[in-house]
Amino acid sequence: MVLETANENLCVNKLLATKKDIIMVEGDMIVPDSKPDILSTICTSGVVCVYKKEALEDKVRIDGNINTYIMYLADDTQDKVRGINTSLDFSEVVPVSNVQEGMQISVQTKLKSIECKVINGRKIGIKASLEVDIKVYEKEDIEIVNDIQNAEGIQMQRENLKVNSLVGMGENKIYAKDNLSINSVDNLAEILKTDISIVDKDVKISYNKILAKSEAKIKLMYLTEDNRVNVIEAKIPLVGFIDIPNVTEENICDINYEIKNILIKPNSAEEHSIYVEMEVGVSAIVYEEKQINLIQDLYSPCENLEFNKKKITTITGKQILKETKQIRETIELDGMDNKQIVDVDINPVIEKQENLMNKILYTGNLDVNFVLVGNDLQTEVRNSKIPFEYSVDGIEDSENMNNKLEIEVASQDFIVQEQGIVTSNINLSMENNMYKNTNINVMNEIQTTGEREEQDYSLILYMVKKGDTLWKIAKQFGSTVEDIVKTNGIEDENKISIGQKLFIPRYVIKVGIQYG
């Protein structure tokens, strides 16, 4: 006979597969007729756009492009700095086991490196490596038995757990555009370099709706008609709504941004501005913290019980920690006489992560690239590294914690001192998204298969063995924890020792197969 149970629902966002891979993107660029020949390259930068990602059978397809900017030294009598840009398209199929068509996927891309080689004065070979981090999810609704109706005599072992149940997922697109003003005395000749990042991320949750707020931080280096190099920085607001049923402000929300398309072009000379247009994809995964009273095991001294157990993996302890780390270091740049810093790129790189007893320790470097311009308008790039450490303290059970650290350069300032000493003042925004995977046993299809044979009350003398608990002993002999505690005068039912002698009261003998 199947027993009547009380149930509750738990929605699990199952992480089916992960894959980290490197995508190589290569291509050649022909210098336009309007540009002079290339003598040598100075630096190369790029902005990655992913406009399509698709889950297929045992693979994930990623389509996008890299908007590439090359600053070079022209092969002419004046050795002028010039710039060209191109778009490198890519379409890559990454093998990922267990993926099925239509599954929910998350793809994060990072431009790991980009370099170019002068093939001849009119042709450049470009080679870029993209770091892709793919995660594949599947939503699963699970019914949990948390009580049995009319459960007289049935012994139940319970555990109170806090888990993070999936509320829902959603995505939307944000469109933004703006005209970025340059100095009114500058007549723009061409754009030399572009850097774009999504910063100042914030989430506001109301009933059934998520407001995702951030800014696109844009830095453009440009050349003027009189061969000067200048830099402008600006932030364009990004605001979008994502509709997710039943989401409330108490929920925890993971937000991911992805640049899909970008257009950058100078306006007319009279306007002294540059037009920027962007399409940004924003996606959200929302969790609620749920307290569940889970039945871990059960038996009856009077009846034989059968039940099924299913092991599922869910997440618990999800939290998002934000902090600002200050870095104050000095850097030596030789030969700084008659040169000034016109631009600095900072790329944080984590080299090592250690999950210690109660903290997570990161060690890494800031890869710092200086663009220098001399009084003779000659341009060069210098590279340096600033080592740093960062720790998240007070983390319980940090060895088993899953975490993803995102680092943004919130602000930077570099002051040139005497003899090429540069003082750096850098603020990093650190966002650590943490959770633990936990395995829980879920019962279903609980039924009785008949009564046990009765016998008179008896006591059994039992000696505690390694791995025993009062629950296991009571279940083995058809007794109850309460009766064993009472019979033996045990003060703490969780403390018994190997070799301890216990009197086990029982009322029935076991027949048939033992379940559970």
pLDDT at 302: 79
What average pLDDT does the chain have? 89
- How far is Cα 509 from Cα 229, in angstroms, rounded to an integer? 92
pLDDT digits (tens, 9 = 90+) for 75-123: 876 668 899 999 999 999 999 988 999 888 999 999 999 999 999 999 9
pLDDT at 483 over 80: yes
Q: Select the CATH number that applies to the domain covering 454-508 from these four: 3.10.350.10, 3.40.50.12780, 3.40.50.10420, 3.30.1280.10.
A: 3.10.350.10
DSSP per-residue letters across 421-435: EEEEEEEEEEEEEEE
- How far is Cα 287 from Cα 250, in angstroms, rounded to an integer? 9
Residue 484 host element (H or E): helix 481-488
pLDDT at 312: 87
Burial degree of 474 (CB within 10 A; 0-12, 13-18, 19+) = buried
pLDDT at 79: 64
H helix runs in 163-214, sequence order:
none
pLDDT at 257 over 90: yes
E strands, 300-420, are 303-332, 339-355, 359-374, 379-393, 401-416
Can you read off the two tokens belonging to residue 97? 């086991």
pLDDT at 454 over 60: no
Can you read off the two tokens belonging to residue 107? 């793809």
Q: What's the pTM value of the predicted model, to 2 decimals?
A: 0.84
Mean pLDDT of 286-299: 88
Residues near 56 by Cβ (< 8 Å), separated by ≥ 6? 93, 99, 101
pLDDT at 513 over 50: no
pLDDT at 455: 55
pLDDT at 516: 34
pLDDT at 94: 95
Mean pLDDT of 33-57: 92
pLDDT at 212 over 90: yes
pLDDT digits (tens, 9 = 90+) for 310-336: 888 888 989 999 999 999 999 998 888
Mean pLDDT of 354-377: 89
Look at the block and give the residue holding tokens 């902090």. 323
Q: Where are the chain's structural domains?
A: 17-145, 152-301, 318-447, 454-508
pLDDT at 279: 97
Residues near 179 by Cβ (< 8 Å), separated by ≥ 6? 267, 271, 273, 274, 275, 276
pLDDT at 512: 39
Look at the block and give the residue holding tokens 């830095």. 219
- How far is Cα 443 from Cα 497, in angstroms, rounded to an integer? 30
pLDDT digits (tens, 9 = 90+) for 396-415: 877 788 888 999 999 999 99
